[in-house]
Amino acid sequence: MEFRIGLIRGDGIGPEIVTEAKKVLDAVSCAYGHTFHYTDLLLGGASIDACGVPLTDETVAEAKQCDAVLMGSIGGDAKTSPWYQLPPEKRPEAGLLRIRKELGLFANLRPAYLYEELKDACPLKEEIIADGFDLVIMRELTGGLYFGERKTVVEDGIRKAVDTLTYNEKEIRRIAVRAFDIARKRRKKVTSVDKANVLDSSRLWRAVVEEVAKDYTDVTLEHMLVDNCAMQLVRDPAQFDVILTENMFGDILSDEASMVTGSIGMLSSASLNESSFGLYEPSHGSAPDIAGKNIANPIATVLSAAMMLRYSLNLDQEADAVEQAVKRVLKKGYRTVDIMSEGCIQVSTIQMGDLLAKEIEA
């Protein structure tokens, strides 16, 4: 089969980790007889440097012609990078927000899985992690506070900033349907997270989620306030299967969930629209302080590529092969510096990519 894949190498460590993920995808194409046609796309700081803006109309048009897009990371050091001397709408992150909107990427799926081999890296006590945990956070991505009307004004000599949190029932319903569909393929439990004791938007969120739940009688639904959820993630993460929440809450909770796995360098993510198209990226940032040093962990990007194979290209067997390759390499004791522990073998970014690709070829 033939597929067209967009590659956003991005900034910082982005080019390094995308190169290794592509190496693994090439191994998949050889082992399973597929052809992947790659299109390089510019976004973020790299686009600012080349085109003067964080995202061009041409990049959006090219991305829409792809079956899926794999991205490294964007942005730089906010204190030193000239990108952050620009107005907010021209900074790297503005390009990411825009491409999500332009491509209709309303559903962000971020797994948090604790590998047996990395239990020692988990900051939680052994009695808490027990047999590990396997959860996903389904975050609404194109609505809420990040996309609402905003302004900063001066009233009576006092500066005032306003950010508007808005959701309509259609936006809530479509993300809830996605969450229940994914839960149905997992352990059949959805935890909907809101702040319904305070916010009108959360009360609407809760009401619509309950309406959707009526069509999924085989899936258990529970509601949880966001502050309690933040606590429960470090108290008993194994209780969760699919966490469904709005944009800002999801941004915060997914970062928290990523850290209880031991390293954010292990965690993938997918941003999906209403078709099979998705943008896939690691959960971590661009880490400009280690860019070019060949020490970044490419596994999160490789696992994002596995999600791409599964959700956009419908290649479940190939996705399984990539995920199993990661487990086998970890079981053999190979580690990048961020997950290194006593008795293991430290490898570079490139070496980790080689090891993973070799497992696929085997």
Predicted confidence at residue 210, as pLDDT, reads 98
What phi-psi label fits residue 156: left (phi over 0), alpha (psi between -120 and 50 degrees) or beta? left
State the maximum Cα–Cα separation within the chain, in Å, rounded to a whole number: 71
Residue whose entry in the numeric block shows the structure tokens 């962990």 = 297
Predicted confidence at residue 283, as pLDDT, reads 85
Q: What is the CATH number of domain 1-106+275-362?
A: 3.40.718.10
The residues that bridge with 150 in the sheet, in sequence order, are 163
Predicted confidence at residue 362, as pLDDT, reads 62
CA distance 329 to 327: 6
Retrieve residue 282's tokens: 């690691």
Indicate the SS3 state at residue 197: coil
Q: Answer yes or no: 38 catalytic.
A: no
Active-site residue (options: 26, 134, 236, 251) = 251
Q: Are 189 and 220 in contact (CB under 8 A)?
A: yes
Half-sphere exposure of 204 (CA within 13 A, CB side): 14
Q: Are 6 and 41 in contact (CB under 8 A)?
A: yes
- Strands, E assignment, the chain: 2-10, 35-41, 68-73, 107-113, 134-140, 150-155, 158-163, 189-194, 220-225, 242-245, 268-272, 278-282, 334-335, 345-346
Predicted confidence at residue 255, as pLDDT, reads 85
CA distance 138 to 250: 7
The burial class, CB within 10 Å (0-12 / 13-18 / 19+), for 130 is: middle
C-alpha pair distances (Å), 22 with each of 75, 281, 293, 358 = 21, 13, 19, 13
Q: Answer yes or no: 251 catalytic.
A: yes
Enter the DSSP assignment of 194. Answer: E
Retrieve residue 56's tokens: 């061009």
Predicted confidence at residue 132, as pLDDT, reads 82
Active-site residue (options: 227, 293, 327, 331) = 227
* Amino acid (1-letter code) at residue 80: T
List per-residue pLDDT tens for the chain, 362 residues long: 999 999 999 999 999 999 999 999 999 999 999 999 999 999 999 999 999 999 999 999 999 999 999 999 999 998 999 999 999 999 999 999 899 889 999 999 999 888 888 877 777 788 787 778 899 999 999 899 998 999 999 999 999 999 999 999 999 999 999 999 999 989 999 999 999 999 999 999 999 999 999 999 999 999 999 999 999 998 999 999 999 999 999 999 988 888 788 777 788 999 999 888 999 999 888 999 999 999 999 999 999 999 999 999 999 999 999 999 999 999 999 999 988 888 999 999 999 999 999 999 86
DSSP H helices in 103-218: 126-129, 169-184, 200-213
SS (H, E, C) 153-164: EEECCEEEEEEC
Stretch(es) of the chain classified as CATH 3.40.718.10: 1-106+275-362, 123-260
CATH number of 123-260, picked from 3.40.120.10, 3.40.718.10, 3.30.565.10, 3.40.50.1370: 3.40.718.10
Predicted confidence at residue 260, as pLDDT, reads 83
Q: Among candidates 239, 320, 302, 232, which has minimal Cα distance to 265? A: 302
Retrieve residue 192's tokens: 């909907």
Retrieve residue 66's tokens: 């792809």
Active-site residue (options: 26, 134, 236, 255) = 255
CA distance 128 to 220: 23
Q: Are 261 and 112 in contact (CB under 8 A)?
A: yes
CA distance 234 to 229: 9
Q: Answer yes or no: 218 catalytic.
A: no
Active-site residue (options: 26, 119, 146, 354) = 146
CA distance 171 to 132: 33
